[in-house]
Amino acid sequence: MTPVAVCSRHSSLRAAVTCVCPRGAILVAGQSQTHLELGIDLLPPVLGCSGAFLPLNISLPEEIIGGWEAQPHSRPYMAFVKIEKGGHCGGFLIRKDVVVTAAHCNCNLGTITVVLAAHNVSRQEPGRQEIWVRRRIPHPEYNDETLGNDIMLLQLESPAQVNDWVRPIKLPKARQKVKPGTRCSVAGWGLTSSDPEKTSDVLMEVELPVKEDEFCRLYFGREYNYKSMLCAGDMRVPEGTLEGDSGGPLVCDGVAQGIVSWDFKDQSPPEVYTRLSHFIPWIKKMMKKLPH
């Protein structure tokens, strides 16, 4: 059976849509690419796809691509997660003593320190707080091959001092969905392009549109779980995240809706995020067990 292409309308271009086939297949119209832009009047009722499906080739996000420097301390929930023997990840404060990050961040390789109120992580800035992590709680069903359930809680050794530069972010309600087309933002430290020499120590940010679940399911294949994942990014614009940004929040209207998780090896958008609303019951259960 010929797979069907999924088409979605660009929020910024009302007269255009993007049609996408599963990775490795092409539109039967003959375009040697996975997506095609068509005028809305030219869009047929159904587009088919042909060609072999490629195996999923997952990459862990390392950088903010096409973004800009964030206003210093404009994201008081952001956490720089320093991992001994394992580089760094992003994270975000949800309680004075609890930070959320991605479970794939190699946090079993050594001591973890969380840095709060940081903008330029290479400098000892005023107000900066560095706190050891007392306990790490990866989701019990985390799968390091598919990156399913890619979420981990970090309990801090001592509570953060909440002020204008350090403040927990709001979490979504359980099972809350983000409307497709919503413009959200993601931030992180690290590379600013695929060139490993172009690094940045300051917090960078970028805006991304949330995609429809059906689009994400077809684009990413069987590894995409719409209940516990969401995807965001515009295929026409090379902006998004790549590995040092892993664990950072996807923020929509001031609420943390996702965790930077994975994308394809070619580093093109969209990217996949852990859907936080799916894990709210687990987060609440774990936090109740943690002594303040």
Helix (H, G, I), strand (E, B) or coil at 150: coil
Place of tokens 């590379």: 191
Helix (H, G, I), strand (E, B) or coil at 53: coil
Give the pairing type, strands 112-116 and 6-9. unpaired
Q: Which residues are catalytic?
A: 104, 150, 246
* Contacting residues for 289 by C-beta, under 8 A, at least 6 apart: none
Helix (H) or strand (E) holding 202: strand 199-209
Helix (H, G, I), strand (E, B) or coil at 129: strand
Angle (nearest 5°) at CA 176 between 175 and 177: 115
DSSP label of 235: T
Task: State how far the Cα of 38 lies from the Cα of 196, in Å rounded to an integer.
Answer: 36
- Contact between 228 and 240 (Cβ < 8 Å): no
Helix (H, G, I), strand (E, B) or coil at 40: helix
Place of tokens 């390392």: 62
Burial profile 100-130: b = 16 or more Cβ within 10 angstroms, e = fewer = bbbbbbbbeeeebbbbbbbbebeeeeeebbe
